[in-house]
Structure 1
Amino acid sequence: MSSRHRQSGTRPTPSRSSIVPSQTPARRPAVEEELPPYKKPSHPLNEQALTKLRALNGPSITQLKDHNKKAADRITNAAALVLDTLYERQAAVAQKRAKWDKSIDTESRGQDEARLAELQAQVDEFSKKLEESMRAVIDNGAAAQRIEESLAWLQTNAPGRLQKEYATQRSQQQSQRASQRAWESQARRTQSRDEDEDVQDEHETQVSMGPTPGPTPPDGLRPSLTGVSEMYTERVEREKIDYTSISYFGRYSKNKEYSTFKKMVHDAQYRDDRPLPNPETWFTETGEPALGVTGHGEDHDDDDDDDDDIVMERATISIKCPLTFLPYKDPYTSSKCPHTFERNAIMEMIRKSNVRVGGGSANNGDKAVKCPVTGCDQMLRMKDLNHDPVLARRIKRLQEDKAREAEQSDGEEDTQILTSQRPIASVQSRIQDPSPSRLQIPSTLGTPRSSIVDDLGSSGEEHE
């Protein structure tokens, strides 16, 4: 018996081998089954249906919007990275051209310029694709907004609309039934007077089996209501048509992600304080984005208005927060005014504020503070402030340039100190000479050293 048990545990039996093929069909999706034909609902939404309808507008929509936001950020950062690479290559070739013009190291000129031209073509093509991707992301965001708004509209309007349709159709059907019964009754009374009983039975059979000239209820006795899916599809399609009928300028110029993209591209291309051109210049006459048109060109100095704009733009650039008086770490710019603050500082002010706006009363609405910049009367809420990646990028670049200049300045001063110390070593090697004039030379050469040290300690302008 024990040997049989051991044998049955090691060898597959026919019954066990049949398990494998029996499990295989169960894992396959039932794609061959056809859904039954769609029937319109015949009753209003019950409480269970309302609960499921409310659940549609939930985390999935939020995740879609978050995904779109991350995609826009990555596209913007990719554009900046690509243009930074091109800018650095252009700067390197520009330095070499100064030597080439003096006939120095001209052997690699052709190769370097060919590589730069190739990189320029690649960057132009890549920038075009990034531009198209950014517009697609914005369109997807608008689609997500349509879905969210349409679902919210359904939750508010679909139950009442279905209830109203149901009551209307039931009333119509009841009226039609009453008319039908009255007509049939009148027909029977008329026929009973004019025809014999056999003819009357034949007529009643025809009435029961075929259509009558009187009104009949639609779809028998079953109401046919507009489905929730039909309402949703109709509203989404209508909103989509309205969106696509808007010009490219109307779709993208006021979009925050698209504006940030254009600012980032502009900064990566020029790296100076010239202002971003008016959004009207971002698009061609046919509505297509004017790729690469982000600067005023070489002749912008001829326009006095442009010069004034440039001066104003440069005057507002600062690497220090007006609240903390310290260099920015996480700059947040207002969407209502052109002012920027350190995130923690301005958010703390808003949290401690007793003023509320947008709620219709003193106890409702969002907390807000008046813009801390003198002369600005805008009321700022937390949602009016957003991270400014372009400003953060420019500040980081300014700080790196400042650190680089300080490094170079320290290197020059160290060189001066070493230069002043060299005669001392030569004099000390001759200290054995008893001549008084030679022994006094070290003290004379020590004076420049002390003056250099004093200069290092008095960097007041840089500290301010």
Structure 2
Amino acid sequence: MAPTQFEPQPLTAPLNDQALRSLSELQQHRDREKKAREPLKKAAEYLTDITGELNDRAYLRRVRHSKEKARRRAAKGVEDGAEGNDDPAEAEADARHDEFQRKVEALTKRMDLSIRGVIDDMAWLTEYPATLKAVVEKAQEITEQQRSDFHVQSPPRRTRQSRRVVDADETGNVDQDDEGEAHEAEGDTEAASSSHQTRMLPTIHPADSPHVHLSTALTQQVRTWTSKTLTERYAHNNDYKGWYRVLYDAKNPGESAPPMPDESLWFAAEEGRMSFSSSQRRRHRPLREGSQAEATSVTENGSRSGSDDEVEIAAEKTRLKCPITLLPYEDPVTSKNCNHSYERNAILSMLSASSSHALWTPTQLQELSQLSDRQRNRREREMRVKQVKCPECNVLLVEEDLVENPALKRRVARLLAQERRDNIATSDVDGDSSGDDDDNENRHRHHNDMDLIGTQRRPVGLGSSSPVPSRSTTARRTAEPIKGERLSSMSVVPQTQLGEDDGSGGGTHKNSQSPEPALVPTRPARRGRGRGRNRRIMDVDDDNE
């Protein structure tokens, strides 16, 4: 259904009480203003994010183009500073790169104008309640004046009619002719009174209509806003400052980037003002402001704090961690009072747990003075606003002083991502180098073990693999398992230990055929290491004999 177009009509009579109540209710309803503000806020956030992503790609494209150009020149043996470009491929690449950068600049300019329009609409909504209130109050004053004029100019018709009736009752000599004349006179009187009342209705000027006052007031509101400079309109607006910070951070990433310029210089070229460098600006500031020269120290948001010496800042360092949680930022907010940043949940928790409250404003004091004691106590509890001191500088702040900082959020996310990539690359390099070192050490150890014999060899720890045996000790190491089996199995007893007659000097026994050696089972030793070692020594000695 298409919206009905409003067609203003001139007033023929003063506004009644119902119309005045409708005007009063119109200024009390703030739902429409809130509904209109939400999409504008979303539009500002989307423009900020898209501007950052677009200029991030432009920066990466610029870096990649520079590397490719330097690589082509290095392949051809041409120095980077050499002028002239005879390569058609390189000329075409430069043309494509320049065209892409021009498109980025054009889109960024359109987004700049768009976010300015969003800020203009938000400023219009901010001033609209006060303008509507002034229009309603003026309409009430004009209506009261019109009503008073109407009562003064109206003729006292009923008084004349009652006087005529009283005179007729006193005389009592009214016949039919007189009654006819009286009716005729009464009719003439009513006609004259009606015509007089029509003539005496207050004339309402078209300019006194409420819709005319509202249109005039809104036009004046827009005129007042547009009469301000660009710096006054946008440089101090939180949404535009967030957009500009994201744009500057995308164009100048990294810790080596120079600090963001002062807000007073953002629109110097468009306003036709001369822009100074940072040192010249501080040098001319005492002449313009009549104060001492102050140097600036940059915080994580590019804010400035006073100092006694003049210092030229070359770069700023971003703080990645919240001063309250000591953890990297996830949803940072910045205080408008001191420009320090905190994690949103952390600072809101401090505010909710605080027992300190902000002082009453003049508007709040005026509202409380018009209430009774009981209503005043209840209203005070509703109007109390908690406050805390900044963890960095002890400046008092409330929840309304906290604003989002999308530039800091993007910068911290980018630095953390870069740190993770560096850690992964470093771990990969360390893993490769440690693997090579282990291989070299194993080869060196194997070579040394081949040369060492016996107790000179490197001891083997628990849980490690045994070293490769050397050639000189191969036979000795292979004999040890056999001796171990001899201890745990059957023992062979020499025949000389079984017979009673022992031959000397190679004598023979009574039986010509020598008996087979007897197999006598032996119990395994409980302490295999010590006793087994003695057994092995005896066996070796007997065999040698």
Question: TM-score scaled to structure 2, two decimals?
Answer: 0.59
2:424 corresponds in structure 1 to 407
2:148 corresponds in structure 1 to 168
Shift of 1:359: 1.6
2:55 corresponds in structure 1 to 83
Structure 1: distance between partners of 2:3 and 2:404: 49
2:435 corresponds in structure 1 to 418
Equivalent position to 1:93, from 65, 84, 93? 65
Task: Mark the structure with the bigger radius of gyration.
Answer: 2
Shift of 1:289: 11
1:368 corresponds in structure 2 to 387
Equivalent position to 1:128, from 103, 109, 122? 109
Equivalent position to 1:282, from 266, 271, 276? 266
> Which amino acid in 2 is paired with 1:78?
I
1:344-355 counterparts in 2 under 5 A? 344-355=345-356
Structure 2: distance between partners of 1:332 and 1:267: 17
Question: TM-score scaled to structure 1, two decimals?
Answer: 0.68
* Native 8 Å contact 2:20 2:140 kept in 1: no
1:46 corresponds in structure 2 to 18
Q: Does 377-386 or 217-226 show the bigger shift?
A: 217-226
1:250 corresponds in structure 2 to 232
2:504 corresponds in structure 1 to none
Structure 2: distance between partners of 1:65 and 1:34: 23
* Native 8 Å contact 2:357 2:384 kept in 1: yes
* Native 8 Å contact 1:334 1:384 kept in 2: yes
* Native 8 Å contact 2:332 2:409 kept in 1: yes
Shift of 1:64: 1.0
> Which amino acid in 2 is paired with 1:116?
H
Equivalent position to 2:98, from 111, 114, 117? 117
Deviation per residue, 1:254-292 (Å, 9 max, x gap): 1111111111111111114422212232224663899xx
Show structure 2 runs of 5+ residues with no match: 78-86, 161-183, 284-293, 303-314, 366-379, 465-545
1:311-460 counterparts in 2 under 5 A? 313=302, 317-359=318-360, 364-373=383-392, 376-423=393-440
SS at match of 2:397: strand
SS at match of 1:366: coil
1:232-247 counterparts in 2 under 5 A? 232-247=214-229
Show structure 1 runs of 5+ residues with no match: 1-27, 183-200, 447-464
SS at match of 2:387: strand
Shift of 1:230: 2.5
Flag the 1:308–1:35 CA change in 2: closer, same or farther, 3 A: closer
* Native 8 Å contact 1:332 1:386 kept in 2: yes
Deviation per residue, 1:173-218 (Å, 9 max, x gap): 24xx47xx99xxxxxxxxxxxxxxxxxx9xxx9xx89xx9xxx878
> Which amino acid in 1 is paired with 2:390?
C
1:166-205 counterparts in 2 under 5 A? 166-174=146-154, 177=155
Deviation per residue, 1:89-145 (Å, 9 max, x gap): 111122223323422698853343222111111111111111111111111112222
Flag the 1:233–1:300 CA change in 2: closer, same or farther, 3 A: closer
1:455 corresponds in structure 2 to none
> Which amino acid in 2 is paired with 1:50?
S
1:264 corresponds in structure 2 to 246
Percent identity over the alignment is 20
Deviation per residue, 1:314-372 (Å, 9 max, x gap): 66631111111111111111011021111111111111112111425896541101112
Flag the 1:304–1:384 CA change in 2: closer, same or farther, 3 A: closer
Q: Does 33-42 or 128-137 show the bigger shift?
A: 33-42
SS at match of 2:324: coil
Shift of 1:300: 7.2
| Richer in helix (by share) | 1
> Which amino acid in 1 is paired with 2:350?
M
* Native 8 Å contact 1:248 1:289 kept in 2: no
Structure 2: distance between partners of 1:30 and 1:332: 41
Structure 1: distance between partners of 2:272 and 2:282: 29
Flag the 1:55–1:87 CA change in 2: closer, same or farther, 3 A: same
Shift of 1:392: 0.7
Flag the 1:303–1:248 CA change in 2: closer, same or farther, 3 A: closer
Structure 1: distance between partners of 2:6 and 2:18: 27
Equivalent position to 1:228, from 206, 210, 234? 210
Shift of 1:37: 4.6
Shift of 1:404: 1.5
Structure 2: distance between partners of 1:52 and 1:318: 51
Structure 1: distance between partners of 2:52 and 2:227: 31
Please tell me the root mean square deviation across aligned C-alpha atoms, in Å: 4.6
Structure 1: distance between partners of 2:65 and 2:213: 61
SS at match of 1:356: coil
The count of corresponding residues between Structure 1 and Structure 2 is: 380
Deviation per residue, 1:58-78 (Å, 9 max, x gap): 322111111111111111111
Deviation per residue, 1:412-455 (Å, 9 max, x gap): 10121121133356568879957659976999xx9xxxxxxxxx
Q: Which has the higher contact order (CA 8 A, sep 6+)?
A: 1
Structure 2: distance between partners of 1:343 and 1:237: 39
Q: Does 100-109 or 427-436 show the bigger shift?
A: 427-436
Structure 2: distance between partners of 1:409 and 1:89: 26
